[in-house]
Structures are given as structure tokens and as C-alpha cells.
A and B are shown apart, each in its own frame.
Chain A
Amino acid sequence: MKPISPKPSPRRYHQASWDEPVIFELSQPGQRGVLLPPVETGIEQEVGNPAQMLTDQLRRTVPPALPELSQIHVLRHYDRISQENLGVDLNIDIGQGTCTMKYSPKINDQLAHTHKLTELHPLQDFSTVQGILEVMYRLEGMLKEISGMDRFSLQPGAGGSAIYANICMMRAHHASRGEGKQRDEVITTIFSHPSNAAAAKVAGYKVITLYPDSEGYPDLEALKAAVSERTAGLLITNPEDTGIFNPKIAEFTRIVHEAGGICSYDQANANGILGITRAREAGFDLCHFNLHKTFSTPHGCGGPGAGASGVTEKLIPFLPVPTTEFDGQKYYLDYNRPKSIGKIRPFYGVTANILRSYAWIMSLGADGLREVAEIAVLNNNYLLKKVLEIRGVSAPYAKGKRRVEQVRYSWEQLTQETGVHSEEIEIRVTDFGMHYWTSHHPFVVPEPMTLEPTESYSKADLDEYVAVLNQISAEAYTNPEIIKTAPHNCTVHQTQQEPFDNPDEWAVTWRAYRRKTGKK
């Protein structure tokens, strides 16, 4: 027997494709997926059936038209469509820049599945939940050390929620000094995460966005033009989504402080700087982390994540309530906080992710976190070098400088030369089992591509990803049709877009779809 030919590069990927119907189409009348404890005769005799005795105003007369399936069919359906999905476990997910798609260790998932966490009710007496309270307390301590902040709230549900909490604390701080009405503007930058601007607007602020200078750094002179006695604060991500660290960040906070504002550090992009540089030394009054980014908790198709809001001493009174406390002997939750901004969400935070983050940090320690940051940066700069060898790509700004943990590239040259756009490459990439993301809007970097390798991928992984981009670049110059008609190797082919924007056609639900298409 001759040896079998080796695997080519890029590999001949094809996504799983079950041609699976929508679950309603699998319904078999009468089937049940799960049963309930039967109601005892004793109860029935005492009270009858109150649900059926409700008045017409409240009683549902026709059962909901849910699909009927036996248990294995539900399992099989969802297992099948789960296969038609890519996640960190499956693919080299370095294309989701700013999301920090790192490995979520399975051991942490297993630890979070114990009934000692999942079956806890949040209103249980403190004496019965000392374990989880201690985990929350300890994680807060770790985040304090990592950032230099004085206290944390683990209540926010994710990054946007943490940013919003920080803005509310900013607002409360100024209100407490009688300057609430006067200070109605916040400053951010175009390369910071747009949730900063969006959350600030919801909180009632006017948002001033700074555009970068010609080198791609936030423009210090622009900041000076932006601050005034109306400035409530600065909301800034650093390094920004371009992967460039702003070396003048302490200058930024100084200028805002001089104007009477306070500064909130969006640390969504902290992965490359753990143990290297901290919010405190840069002069920040608040910061936030995304536990589902930097601290490894899984992304769950879009949540649940978890956010952590950190503050310096003067803002502690405004923290969301309750805070986790230790009196030397017992852990408890403190609700007695009259100046608190109140609650950000029900209860205390996404506890499963709090536990996962805690376990992750425990398994790495200070040296491990340092290694995480350094390798994330090394991987990114290695990737930068390799990607820049591809025809048609550039990395605008900061020429010759190192990037931190991600880079925003531009395919502008390739687009000019071939007419192929970044969004089209984005789809073609899926034909190889990969993914990438362009950028937030508006596209200040033209034809963008934002890649963030994190520390979880090997050199071989990075090389494999680059090989795919290289192939597509070559295709753009020689056979652009194959890009423009992608995807070819995914579960489905190009989807028609018009129905999504046309109110007469759009269908957010199966029932709407049936109604509008006349499908039986």
C-alpha cells in the first residue's frame, strides 16, 4: 500500500450540513419530550383545577402551538444544528477581533455545573452560601490586584452593562458634588468600543468622539479642544481596537481631571497587558473587564458573559448594591449603601462565569497571567508580520511599531486592484472553516479586518489561518468570482437579503413566515 497523500493546505473543509428542517416541521402530534411529577389526588381533591377556573379574561383556551417531539428527537435536532456552528472549540477563531476568543477550559465548565452552584437560590440565608460568597469575594480581590482599583462590582451582565454601570457611577459622583447638570458631556474615541458612546447616550450624556491623529493614536490636541467645564468624563479603550497602545494615556487622564471630569477605562482589550500595565497607574477612576473575554469564560453564542466594574476609593459609595463583604469570620452581602446607583440586574452577577474566571486565574497565577499577556502579544505581532506578506493587505497607522493584542488591517489595496471587498472576503473565509470580523461602523479604516489571536492558538494555527487569507487574496486577483459567490462549503448558500428589510416580507418567527408566505 502506498502512503495516503498528506493533507493539503488549506484543508478541504466542508461544514456539516444536515439539511435540517425548522423544528416545527418535525412535530408529531401526541409526542412528549419530558413529563412532570403528577399532581397528587390529595391536592386535586382539595383544590380542583384553579387554572381552568380562571375567568375568561385570564384563562388560555387554546394550548400554545408548540411543536411536539419525543425526547430523542429534540436532542437530535439540536445536536445536528449545533454541528452547523463554529466556536473556539472547533476552529481557529482568531478572526473575531476584540472578542478575545480564547480557550474556555473544560474543567472550569465542569466545576460550574455542580448543584452546589446551579441549585443555589440567591435569597438563601448567608450561612448556607458561604462558599459562593467567598468565591465572589476572592475574585474581586484578584481583579483589584490586576487593575489597581480599590473595589469591584461583579454584578454587570457583560461589558456593555459594566460600562453603563460605570457611567451611572460617574453621573452619581458629579450629582453628589452639585455638578450633575453642568457636566453633560462625555468624551470617547472612535476606536473605543461603541458601547461606550451608546451607554453614555442612554444615560443622558452628549457624546464627543475624538478621531485619531495621523499616526492612529487618540489625538491629544483634539482632547484639549474637547474638554471644558461641561466634561463629565472620559471613556476610553486602551489599547484601542486597532491594537495600538496609547502611550500618552496618563496625559489624557490628567487633562480630563484638570477639567473636573473623571476617567473610565474600558479594559475589554486587557488580554495583552495583564501584569504589564494597570488602570490605576494610568490615572483612571473606574475601569471594567469582560470576564468572557480576558478571563476565559465561554461566549455562549452571544451570552451570558459577565462584566466587572472597578472603582477607586471616592466612587466606592456609588457601587451597585449589594457588595460582597467579609467581617473576619463570615461572608455576607451588604445592602446598606444609601448612595449606591442601585441595581444593574437582578441579584448579584453571572455566578457561573464568576466561578469560571476565579478558577482560571487560580490555575495560572501571576506568572501564568503574565505568560498569557506576553504570548497574546507575541502571537499578534507574529501574525502581523505574516499577514503583511499577503498581497493587498496593509496595517494602517503606527508603522514600524509593535501592536498589543490585535490589529485592524485594511484590504483597501486589494479592493482597488480587484474590486473585491472585505465583507466578501469575510464570507469566503467561512468556506475554510474560519471566520473574521471587519470593524465597528463607521469604517474609519477602509475595507477593514480585525484579527486577535490571543494566547490560545499555536504557531501552526496562526500559519494555517494566514494560509487561508493568502489563498483568498490570490483568488481575488485571479478568480474573484469564487469569492463573490461564496459561501460554497457551508451549510447553506448565499442568503437573499431583501426580505430582511422589507416589512411585508420579514419574518422574525415561524408563524410570521407562514403567514406572509402562505405556507401551510
Chain B
Amino acid sequence: MEHKRLGLIVNPIAGIGGRVGLKGSDSLDIQQRARMLGAVPLAGERAASALELLLPLSENIELLVPPKEMGETVARSCGFNPQVIRTSGLTYKSLAPFPIGRGEGGDETTPEDTRYSARTMQEAGVDLILFSGGDGTARDIYTAIGNNFPVLGIPAGVKIQSAVFATTPRSAGELAAEFLQGKGVRLQEAEVVDLDEDAYRLGQIVTRLYGYLKIPYRREVIQNQKIPSPASSAVQMQGIATDVIEQMKPDLAYILGPGTTTRTVAEQIGLPKTLVGVDIITHNELLAADVGERQILEMLERRPLGLIITPTGGQGFLFGRGNQQISPDVIRRVRDENILVICLASKIAALLGRPLLVDTGDYELDHLLAGYIKVITGYHERIIYRLISGS
């Protein structure tokens, strides 16, 4: 095996609220309340479970970690001899009175510590960043280093909605091991979503699509022999894009929803795309970028619009999880035949038979939209799939 470098970031506060019934752990007072209730953070244990699987390869893996609870402690306790990041950029400095969240200084670790560590590891050119945390941690890493660097999440938070996590800490370790050994593991973009914290605590579920991270995903060890050569996801998306462009009416502008599949449509036309936002395009130009509901409605006053949309959020929500700009008012103004729903067949299969969902916030509209819809899954390939109200 070639020599590889692995970065490990542990968010020591992740998961702290969950065990004692608090929702999430992002703001400071939640953390303090949790500790007072005797909560112990999960992220360290989870990271250890994953690291154990990498131990047999330790001779060929150089571990790079932030100090103490953000990675060093776990790494050493697992038997690694890691290289520790210099801490001058970190906000936590001296020992704090509480037994957790303590780094070299300051009271707690903060999102800036996560971001700093990720940036440092990216600059150091590690082959993969493993992080232990939740959606919030994923979001921080994305903010720091964007979506062009291999990252993989060890699930250790309460909020695990993003698609960037392995299913269990063990499988995160396995996947990381396979990836580092070059064992036919590919990279693909996965969504980073997160709840709006304050709304969540008030009982409202409002997610936002924050961005994408590039994660290793599992390829079969042995290919299936009887079937036609599957086109890779990238090729399938190209096919979808080609099909969509073929269908776009020359004099109609389209609202282009967020997502990597919709981005491929823009790319193929040669337009930039707001990855987590909504754009308005025609078959050959960009009319408006990163628009909100208001701008869309304004444009609808001037001309009719079509809609090209893909499910976001990992649970099969067509509307309501990351594309709230496309509000009920907008949807009602788009004619049925001008709505093009696109999605990779592999993502549909991952729903394991569960229907696609809509949650626009308008109960009546949700029920109007429900039924069987046509989804474009490749060039000249469509499926008929059930859509139901998810509210």
C-alpha cells in the first residue's frame, strides 16, 4: 500500500445534547445545559470505532490531528502516533474548568476550530479528512474547504441529515481504509443539509441545503456479470441533462432548482450554477442567479416560467428541503407540462420503495401535486414514481 495521510477532526461537542433529550448542540448555552445534565460527548467514542479499523494499516498511514479532544486524544488512545496541528490558529487556549470541550485554551471548541483544522489539513494535502460529528460539523467543514476535497463523516451528532456520513462508525472506518488503499472506491458529491436551529427548537422543521462535500462511496468488490455495463453517475447525469435540454422550449425560461443533477444541465449549456441556490435560465443563457421567492414572482409577472427540479435532502423531498425559494405561489404559477423532474435512478433506488415527498407548507398544494409523476433518469429514460404529501 502506498503511504497516505489521513486527517481526523473530532467535534467533541457533537451529540452532546441528544442523549439528554436536548436537540442538537450548536449554541453555547445548550452545551452548558447538556453538561450540567451529565451528558458525555459521543464524537470521541465514535471516532475510536472508526479508527480501530484503520489500525492494521497504521504503518502506511500518517495521521494528522488537531490537539487534544479534537483528535489527538482519540488517535493516541487507539494506538496511533499522530502528527498534531500547530494550534496558533485555534481559538481554544488554556485548560477550562469543565471536563469536555477543552483544547489548549479557551472555554469550548467552536466552529472556527473545526474550520481552521480542515483548512490546515487541506493545505497540508492529506488524502482524506475523516470527521466525527453531525450536520453542523459537516457544514463547518464545507464552509472551510468547499466541495473539492475528499471528506467522510463518522456519524456522531443528533442531526444526521446530510448525505456525507457513512451509515455507522465502523463502516466509515472500512470505507476510509478501502479508499486509502486505492481499492476501487470512488468519490461523489453528497449533500450537506442542516436544520435551522432556532426554528427546530420551536418545533419547526426547516432544512437548508448548505452545500456539497466530496465523499468516498462504496463500489462493489465484484461487478455483476450479467447486466449491461452501467453508466457511471456522471454519465447518467450528462444523459439527463441532454434530455432536459432537448425538451426545453426555445422561448421559455426555466427555474432551475438546487442540486448536482440540475447543475449538470447548466454545465452542459455552458452556464454557471448556484449549487445550493435557485437560478433562472433559458436553453442558452442565464437570466438570474441565486434568486429568492420574490424575484421569481417578479419574473413571473413578466413572463411564464418552467421548472426543472430534483429531490434534495436525502429523504426524497421534491419540494420543501432546500428549495424553499420555490414557494407554493411560484409552483402554482407554473404549468404542469413545463415542470421537469430529474433524478438519478440510483437515488430513486436508495429510497427503497418509499415515495417521493412534497412539503411546500401549503397543505392543499401538496395534495394537488401528489400522484404519479414522470421523472427523467437518463437520456430518453423516464420512470413513473409515486409522490405523496410529506407534511
Tell me, yes or no, whether A461 is within 8 Å of chain B by CB. Answer: no
When chains A and B are docked, how far (Å) is the Cα of A494 from the Cα of B222?
Answer: 10
* Contact (Cβ within 8 A) B221 A437: no
Chain A residues lying within 8 Å of B168, measured Cβ to Cβ, are: 419
* Contact (Cβ within 8 A) B224 A419: no
Chain B residues lying within 8 Å of A376, measured Cβ to Cβ, are: none
* Contact (Cβ within 8 A) A211 B385: yes
Tell me, yes or no, whether B368 is within 8 Å of chain A by CB. Answer: no
Q: Which residue of A lies closest to B345 (CB)?
A: A442
Nearest Cβ distance between residue B22 and chain A, in whole angstroms?
27
* Contact (Cβ within 8 A) B380 A195: no
Which one of B74-82, B156-164, B225-233, B283-291 contacts A? B225-233
Most chain A CB within 10 A, of B225, B380, B385, is at B380
Complex interface bits, A174-208 against B, C-beta within 8 A gives 1, otherwise 0: 00000000000000001000110110010001111
Given contacts A206-B380, A209-B384, whether A442 and B346 have CB atoms under 8 Å apart is: yes
* Contact (Cβ within 8 A) B221 A201: no
Which one of B138-146, B317-325, B348-356 contacts A? B348-356
Q: Which residue of B lies closest to A214 (CB)?
A: B353
Given contacts A225-B372, A426-B222, A442-B345, whether A205 and B174 have CB atoms under 8 Å apart is: no
Chain B residues lying within 8 Å of A443, measured Cβ to Cβ, are: 349
Chain A residues lying within 8 Å of B182, measured Cβ to Cβ, are: 498
Tell me, yes or no, whether A336 is within 8 Å of chain B by CB. Answer: no
Tell me, yes or no, whether B170 is within 8 Å of chain A by CB. Answer: yes
Q: Which residue of A lies closest to B170 (CB)?
A: A419
9 chain-A/chain-B pairs, Cβ below 8 angstroms: A197-B381, A201-B381, A205-B380, A206-B381, A210-B384, A222-B386, A225-B372, A439-B224, A442-B349
Tell me, yes or no, whether B383 is within 8 Å of chain A by CB. Answer: yes
* Contact (Cβ within 8 A) B174 A444: no
Given contacts A211-B348, A426-B222, A497-B184, whether A441 and B230 have CB atoms under 8 Å apart is: yes
Tell me, yes or no, whether B183 is within 8 Å of chain A by CB. Answer: yes
Q: Which residue of B lies closest to A198 (CB)?
A: B228
Chain B residues lying within 8 Å of A424, measured Cβ to Cβ, are: 221
* Contact (Cβ within 8 A) B384 A437: no
Nearest Cβ distance between residue A116 and chain B, in whole angstroms?
34
* Contact (Cβ within 8 A) B383 A210: yes
Q: Which of B83-125 contact A (CB under 8 A)?
A: none
* Contact (Cβ within 8 A) B372 A221: yes
Tell me, yes or no, whether B332 is within 8 Å of chain A by CB. Answer: no
Nearest Cβ distance between residue B185 and chain A, in whole angstroms?
9
* Contact (Cβ within 8 A) A441 B353: no
Q: Which residue of B lies closest to A498 (CB)?
A: B182
Tell me, yes or no, whether A98 is within 8 Å of chain B by CB. Answer: yes
Chain A residues lying within 8 Å of B382, measured Cβ to Cβ, are: 206-209
Tell me, yes or no, whether A446 is within 8 Å of chain B by CB. Answer: yes
Tell me, yes or no, whether A219 is within 8 Å of chain B by CB. Answer: yes
Q: Count how many chain A residues have C-beta atoms less than 8 Å from C-beta atoms of the other chain.
A: 47
Chain A residues lying within 8 Å of B228, measured Cβ to Cβ, are: 194-195, 198
Q: Which of A93-134 contact B (CB under 8 A)?
A: 96, 98-99
Tell me, yes or no, whether B374 is within 8 Å of chain A by CB. Answer: yes
Nearest Cβ distance between residue A487 and chain B, in whole angstroms?
10
When chains A and B are docked, how far (Å) is the Cα of A494 from the Cα of B348?
Answer: 32
Tell me, yes or no, whether A463 is within 8 Å of chain B by CB. Answer: no
* Contact (Cβ within 8 A) B184 A498: yes
Q: Which of B185-205 contact A (CB under 8 A)?
A: none
Tell me, yes or no, whether B301 is within 8 Å of chain A by CB. Answer: no
Tell me, yes or no, whether A440 is within 8 Å of chain B by CB. Answer: yes
Most chain B CB within 10 A, of A190, A443, A497, A498, is at A497
When chains A and B are docked, how far (Å) is the Cα of A194 from the Cα of B385?
Answer: 18
When chains A and B are docked, how far (Å) is the Cα of A222 from the Cα of B356?
Answer: 14
When chains A and B are docked, how far (Å) is the Cα of A208 from the Cα of B183?
Answer: 35
Q: Which of B125-179 contact A (CB under 8 A)?
A: 167-168, 170-171, 174
Given contacts A209-B382, A419-B168, A437-B226, whether A444 and B221 have CB atoms under 8 Å apart is: no
When chains A and B are docked, how far (Å) is the Cα of A198 from the Cα of B348?
Answer: 19
Q: Which residue of A lies closest to B354 (CB)?
A: A214
Complex interface bits, B197-240 against A, C-beta within 8 A gives 1, otherwise 0: 00000000000000000000011111011111010000000000
Tell me, yes or no, whether B371 is within 8 Å of chain A by CB. Answer: yes
When chains A and B are docked, how far (Å) is the Cα of A170 from the Cα of B163?
Answer: 43
Tell me, yes or no, whether A212 is within 8 Å of chain B by CB. Answer: yes
Given contacts A419-B174, A497-B184, A498-B184, whether A222 and B353 have CB atoms under 8 Å apart is: no
Supply 9 further A-B pairs (C-beta < 8 A) apart from A423-B222, A437-B225. A206-B382, A210-B384, A211-B385, A214-B353, A419-B170, A419-B171, A421-B218, A496-B183, A497-B184
Chain B residues lying within 8 Å of A504, measured Cβ to Cβ, are: none
Most chain B CB within 10 A, of A198, A211, A219, A498, is at A211
Complex interface bits, B355-391 against A, C-beta within 8 A gives 1, otherwise 0: 0000000000000000111100100111111100000
Chain B residues lying within 8 Å of A439, measured Cβ to Cβ, are: 224
Nearest Cβ distance between residue A508 and chain B, in whole angstroms?
14
When chains A and B are docked, how far (Å) is the Cα of A195 from the Cα of B222?
Answer: 21
Chain A residues lying within 8 Å of B184, measured Cβ to Cβ, are: 497-498, 500-501
Tell me, yes or no, whether A226 is within 8 Å of chain B by CB. Answer: yes
Chain B residues lying within 8 Å of A500, measured Cβ to Cβ, are: 184
Chain A residues lying within 8 Å of B218, measured Cβ to Cβ, are: 421
Q: Which residue of A lies closest to B381 (CB)?
A: A207
* Contact (Cβ within 8 A) A498 B183: yes
Chain B residues lying within 8 Å of A297, measured Cβ to Cβ, are: none
Tell me, yes or no, whether A414 is within 8 Å of chain B by CB. Answer: no
Chain A residues lying within 8 Å of B386, measured Cβ to Cβ, are: 211, 219, 222
Given contacts A206-B380, A208-B384, A498-B184, whether A441 and B222 have CB atoms under 8 Å apart is: no
* Contact (Cβ within 8 A) A98 B226: yes
When chains A and B are docked, how far (Å) is the Cα of A197 from the Cα of B230?
Answer: 13
Tell me, yes or no, whether A351 is within 8 Å of chain B by CB. Answer: no
Chain A residues lying within 8 Å of B373, measured Cβ to Cβ, are: 225
When chains A and B are docked, how far (Å) is the Cα of A501 from the Cα of B228?
Answer: 17
Nearest Cβ distance between residue B245 and chain A, in whole angstroms?
15
Q: Which residue of B lies closest to A224 (CB)?
A: B372
Q: Which residue of B lies closest to A445 (CB)?
A: B352
Chain B residues lying within 8 Å of A195, measured Cβ to Cβ, are: 228
Nearest Cβ distance between residue A252 and chain B, in whole angstroms?
13
Q: Which residue of B lies closest to A424 (CB)?
A: B221
Q: Which residue of B lies closest to A207 (CB)?
A: B381
* Contact (Cβ within 8 A) A209 B383: yes
Given contacts A208-B374, A437-B224, A438-B224, whether A222 and B183 have CB atoms under 8 Å apart is: no
When chains A and B are docked, how far (Å) is the Cα of A496 from the Cα of B225?
Answer: 17
Chain B residues lying within 8 Å of A419, measured Cβ to Cβ, are: 168, 170-171, 174
Nearest 10 pairs between A and B by C-beta?
A: A442-B349, A497-B184, A225-B372, A222-B384, A206-B380, A209-B383, A423-B220, A208-B382, A440-B227, A442-B346
Nearest Cβ distance between residue B179 and chain A, in whole angstroms?
11
Q: Which residue of A lies closest to B382 (CB)?
A: A208
Tell me, yes or no, whether A352 is within 8 Å of chain B by CB. Answer: no
Chain B residues lying within 8 Å of A208, measured Cβ to Cβ, are: 374, 382-384
When chains A and B are docked, how far (Å) is the Cα of A438 from the Cα of B223?
Answer: 10
When chains A and B are docked, how far (Å) is the Cα of A285 from the Cα of B385?
Answer: 27
* Contact (Cβ within 8 A) B384 A441: no
When chains A and B are docked, how far (Å) is the Cα of A354 from the Cα of B108?
Answer: 78
Q: Which residue of B lies closest to A199 (CB)?
A: B228
Chain B residues lying within 8 Å of A446, measured Cβ to Cβ, are: 352
Q: Which of A196-253 contact B (CB under 8 A)?
A: 197-198, 201, 205-212, 214, 219, 221-226
Tell me, yes or no, whether A427 is within 8 Å of chain B by CB. Answer: yes
